[in-house]
């Protein structure tokens, strides 16, 4: 492993001897696609799972700047391209998944904590306002990166502060205004890694009442989304009002309606298909490659552009190299 790693992903040419000594774990040619929610795609050239925050800080401070570093969450809304991810890919483990509530109604949460677990802990503490997170697949880090939201709530509504490490391992604390959070978008500086956040509740209620609300969210989600399929959540972000107006489309038109109107509900490319249940959800029917998924999305974007002059924006992240 001291020789230059060459797995066909890239031509960076580095070995483990070029990486910092860590207390966590390095793994070469680590499969990523098969652990993602789409269950397809390539491998990480090197996967790094840090032991704790200090270990991650030390790695970032010492890692040569010519080696690409990519941060991944639970891969709930990510396509890992078939050629894999070059450089070092970081995945935060349970050391970054803690969830604690405070007497004054705050929730301190690690970036690797699942959104649904965060909602459940808050509910058990009788804290309202975080229920929507039970309908958001993924982790808090990803929710921060895209200002995730569902069922009337979004991260900017509940974010008090978020903690990040920059590429040199220095700590920063930013609030929703600092991150310029807008619909499905946060302006996190390039290369920064979310490690945790402090969330604020909107009030208090009996845990049973909050859990009942969350049950209703889950039931609605199960009835309208293909959650038991190999999927990545919403494929395209809903168009902004100004984008719709420029194309002569009614205000409030949703992405799923655009997909329907261009005849793409149920459309297949290879093993990838747009769901019949929810037209804005892409699924792996069993044999899709990452290229099938991405090509399906691009075909729909082409149709939307040709018919309406509308640029649909991917909500699913696509990372790595194509074959």
Active-site annotation holder among 91, 184, 301, 303: 184
**Exposed / middle / buried, residue 312 (Cβ in 10 Å: 0-12, 13-18, 19+):** buried
| β-pair partners for 16 | none
Give catalytic status of residue 265 as yes or no: no
**Token output for 242:** 């100004």
Interhelix angle 115-124/207-224, nearest 10 degrees: 150
Q: Which residues have a Cβ under 8 Å from the Cβ of 122 and sit 6 or more positions away?
A: 101, 107, 128, 129, 130, 131, 133, 199, 201, 210
Find the catalytic residue in 186, 234, 255, 275. 234
Annotated catalytic, 321? Answer: no
Catalytic, out of 45, 120, 294, 315: 315
Count CB-CB contacts under 10 A for residue 177.
9
Q: How far apart are CA 35 and CA 316, in angstroms?
A: 16
| CA 305 – CA 299 distance, rounded (Å) | 10
201 is catalytic: no
85-91 and 43-49: which strand pairing?
A: parallel
Show which residues are catalytic. 184, 234, 315
């Amino acid at each position: 492993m001291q020789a230059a790693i060459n797995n066909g992903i890239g031509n960076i040419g580095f070995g483990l001897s070029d990486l910092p000594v860590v207390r966590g774990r390095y793994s070469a040619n680590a499969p990523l696609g098969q652990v993602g929610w789409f269950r397809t795609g390539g491998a990480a050239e090197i996967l790094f799972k840090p032991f704790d925050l200090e270990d991650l800080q030390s790695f970032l401070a010492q890692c040569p700047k010519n080696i690409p570093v990519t941060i991944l969450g639970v891969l709930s809304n990510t396509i890992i391209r078939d050629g894999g991810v070059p450089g070092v890919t970081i995945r935060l483990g349970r050391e970054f998944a803690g969830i604690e509530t405070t007497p004054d109604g705050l929730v301190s949460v690690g970036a690797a904590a699942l959104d649904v677990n965060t909602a459940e802990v808050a509910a058990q503490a009788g804290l309202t306002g975080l229920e929507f997170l039970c309908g958001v697949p993924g982790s808090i880090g990803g929710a921060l990166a895209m200002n995730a939201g569902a069922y009337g709530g979004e991260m900017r509504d509940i974010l008090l502060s978020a903690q990040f490490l920059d590429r040199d391992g220095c700590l920063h604390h930013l609030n929703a205004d600092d991150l310029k959070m807008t619909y499905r978008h946060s302006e996190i500086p390039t290369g920064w890694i979310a490690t945790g956040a402090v969330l604020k509740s909107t009030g208090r209620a009996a845990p049973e009442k909050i859990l009942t609300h969350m049950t209703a969210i889950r039931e609605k989600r199960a009835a309208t989304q293909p959650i038991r399929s190999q999927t990545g959540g919403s494929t395209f972000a809903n168009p902004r009002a100004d984008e719709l107006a420029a194309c002569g489309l009614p205000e409030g038109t949703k992405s799923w309606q655009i997909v329907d109107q261009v005849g793409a509900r149920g459309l297949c490319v290879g093993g990838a298909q747009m769901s019949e249940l929810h037209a804005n959800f892409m699924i792996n029917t069993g044999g899709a490659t990452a290229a099938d998924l991405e090509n399906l999305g691009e075909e729909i974007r082409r149709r939307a552009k040709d018919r309406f002059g509308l640029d649909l924006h991917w909500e699913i992240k696509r990372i790595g190299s194509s074959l």
